[in-house]
Structure 1
Amino acid sequence: MKKEYYVQYSHQSIINSFDFPKDNFVSITVGISDITHDLITSLVQKMFCLPVFFVLESMIFGYEKETLIENKVPFYEFSSDGAIIKVDSVEKLNLVSGLAEVLVNNGLSIFIFYGDGIVEQNLIPSRQWNKPIQFKNVDIYKVDTFIEVEEVGFTIFSKSDLFTSPGKVKNYIPDYYSLDINSSDI
């Protein structure tokens, strides 16, 4: 049996959890209970051209950094355990998606950014318990789309006409998931 997912316009609380110009982005939430590296890889390949940037706020297990080094994947380290990785090949995408899957399924969030002229060092997130998440140094006008992936699904923030409604977003979900039409804004 296929795992179900739903696609909805994001709740205002999700939109407010980020500090960015809200008029420029449409926000769509996809609820999926089974985040796998295959899902992440498939989404990136269907939605974007490479390169994309993965922001791993925390590599809590330690082996993630070692895995990147062993596989000669360059990354920008921004804290004792945070990394920003420019993914410009399918091999890197598969490797980084696997690391992202483990982090997400252990309750952490990761971010994926797509756009022209994005610089790794500018994607450092600032998270405080009482304030929205900020990417203070990123030129948000260079960002076409960014995705926050969590254990229970992901949220797409996009300026692209390709992702501006739940009906459009469902086209990017792999066929091994089934749309819960009753819970979706379609």
Structure 2
Amino acid sequence: MKAAAFDAHKFPAGRSDPLLAECLKEFPPAIFSEHLYQSIELMERYSIELAVDLLGQLNLAEQLGAWRSADKLCSVLGFQPRFRLALQWILARLVESGCLQMRDDGATRSYRLRNTPWKPDLKYLRTIGLTIDPANAATLNLLDYAASAYPAVATGQQSGDHNMFGPQGVPLWLNYFHNEN
């Protein structure tokens, strides 16, 4: 099995495609700035890195030597059935990254490891995100907090709703939706 090709240290995206500017020409340029484009690209990459990190934290890689559905993974790993949707999101991100293969027989999607996952470098990407725009901190903090809750939510030790809308989660949401962001 070969290693996946993503490299956090090669992140910096190029400038946005000129065709994008053409599509958005009816809008004021300040709304869809190059900063916004770079921030969106960074968040996309950051979410993939979080998925790779969760692949390890949730012990998914050990179970993906053979084809497994999200339901089967939940069963084998002792995850709550309601965690299946979150797990499907993680698995889809890992397919996009090239770490996993997916097959769909019409009724069930199954996944297996395609490439050895890389070691995610969230700290490096966070630094880039804050350099692009310090207001990215609110989104990064919310993503990190949500990802940190996944293991406990998966096993039923905590509720996702309680985590995200409880005493620690609410301030993160308020910062995320603050007018300065």
Alignment TM-score > 0.5, same fold:
no
Q: Structure 1 length normalisation: TM-score?
A: 0.25
Point out which structure has higher relative CO (alpha carbons under 8 A, 6+ apart).
Answer: 1
Q: Structure 2 length normalisation: TM-score?
A: 0.26
Q: Which has the higher strand share?
A: 1
